Amino acid sequence: MSLETKPLSGSLGAEILGVDLAQLEAPEFRQIREAFLEHHVLAFRDQKLTPEQQIEFGRLWGELFIHPIVPHLPDYPEIVPIVNSGKSKSLTEIWHSDVSFSAKPPMASGLLAVSLPSYGGDTIFANQHKAYDLLSEGMKTMLDGMRAIHSGTGLASASGKRDAWKEHGQDHPVVRTHPETGRKALYVSPAFTVALEDMTLEESRPLLEYLNEAGHAPDVCYRHRWQTGDLVLWDNRSVQHYAVHDHGKAERTMHRITIMGDTPR
């Protein structure tokens, strides 16, 4: 059976119609994998998944990542609950690619909308291939071979685990090559990239600021308006995301699974 794929914007994202992720057949999964590489963000509506079924879906993609800093669901270390603790405590209202401060950052993350506010709480995704492609040839040449330092210290500190993760950091290429498609993507973010390798913070700042802006220009973005039961899966190797916190104290609960990745090259 051929699945129906409906693009959600001109930049990235597609909805996959008529599929129950709890009962996937191998040919369906193959098509979903192809759509994932083409669209970078996939939305599956109306999924009624138990934590076990969400974990099982995640394992089709690879080994699941246990988050080193953020607490998980009781009994399910593979699932990170994302709850509304107020705007000032939000860890995700900033552009990022998940856990990029680790040596092998996750390849993908999948968020299930469990409980939503009546409005607001959207998530914005930005296509980092497109952001790279739009740079000038001169800028691309300059970035070639450049590396940047990513740090989880800010996240650790905001999560109350400052001491445990004080030294956590990792360098990665500023432009990474997608291991499956060979496409180049910008790989820096305001959440985790703190400096360019072999440069001071002051020297790094202007270029990082420029690249961070380019990374989420309006024409590389898709804004997802959630419905309960949505499962949205994104490719951390080609996408950054930003959780908009505009819903005050209203309940918003999401369950995240994260799939292990490889060394960015």
Ligand X SMILES: O=C(O)CCC(=O)C(=O)O
Residue burial 134-144, b: 16+ Cβ < 10 Å; e: rest:
ebeeeeeeebe
Task: Map tokens 């790279």 to a residue.
Answer: 132
Nearest to 100 by CA among 203, 200, 198, 173: 173
Q: Which of 108, 239, 243, 259 binds ligand X (CB under 6 A)?
A: 243
Residue 98 annotated as catalytic: yes
Shortest Cβ distance from residue 258 to ligand X (Å)?
8
The three-state secondary structure class of 75 is coil
Annotated catalytic residue within 39, 40, 67, 96:
96
Q: Which of 15, 28, 78, 98 binds ligand X (CB under 6 A)?
A: 98
Q: Which of 254, 257, 261, 264 binds ligand X (CB under 6 A)?
A: 254
Q: Which of 82, 134, 139, 260 binds ligand X (CB under 6 A)?
A: 82
Token pair in block for residue 184? 């180049």
Q: Which of 47, 92, 128, 151 binds ligand X (CB under 6 A)?
A: 92
Q: Is 236 in the site for ligand X (CB under 6 A)?
A: no
Minimum CB distance to ligand X smaller for 80 or for 196: 80
- What backbone torsions phi and psi does residue 180 show, to the nearest 5 degrees? -100, -35
Residue 33 annotated as catalytic: no
The Cα–Cα gap between 260 and 108 comes to 7
Shortest Cβ distance from residue 148 to ligand X (Å)?
19
**HSE-up of 242 (CA within 13 Å, CB side)?**
19
Minimum CB distance to ligand X smaller for 92 or for 127: 92
Minimum CB distance to ligand X smaller for 196 or for 215: 215
For the residues of 38-51, what is the DSSP string, one character each?
HHSEEEE-S----H
The Cα–Cα gap between 253 and 112 comes to 9
Nearest to 79 by CA among 105, 95, 59, 107: 59
Annotated catalytic residue within 40, 172, 178, 241:
241
Annotated catalytic residue within 129, 237, 255, 256:
256
The Cα–Cα gap between 224 and 208 comes to 26
Q: Is 123 in the site for ligand X (CB under 6 A)?
A: yes
Annotated catalytic residue within 39, 98, 150, 245:
98
Q: Is 24 in the site for ligand X (CB under 6 A)?
A: no
Token pair in block for residue 82? 């994302």
Residue 241 annotated as catalytic: yes
Task: Map tokens 């419905």 to a residue.
Answer: 227
The Cα–Cα gap between 88 and 262 comes to 33
Shortest Cβ distance from residue 124 to ligand X (Å)?
9
Q: Is 97 in the site for ligand X (CB under 6 A)?
A: no
Q: Is 245 in the site for ligand X (CB under 6 A)?
A: no
Shortest Cβ distance from residue 44 to ligand X (Å)?
15
Q: Which of 168, 184, 216, 241 binds ligand X (CB under 6 A)?
A: 241
Residues with a catalytic annotation lie at: 96, 98, 241, 256
Residue numbers at the binding site for ligand X (CB under 6 A): 82, 92, 98, 109, 111, 123, 241, 243, 254, 256
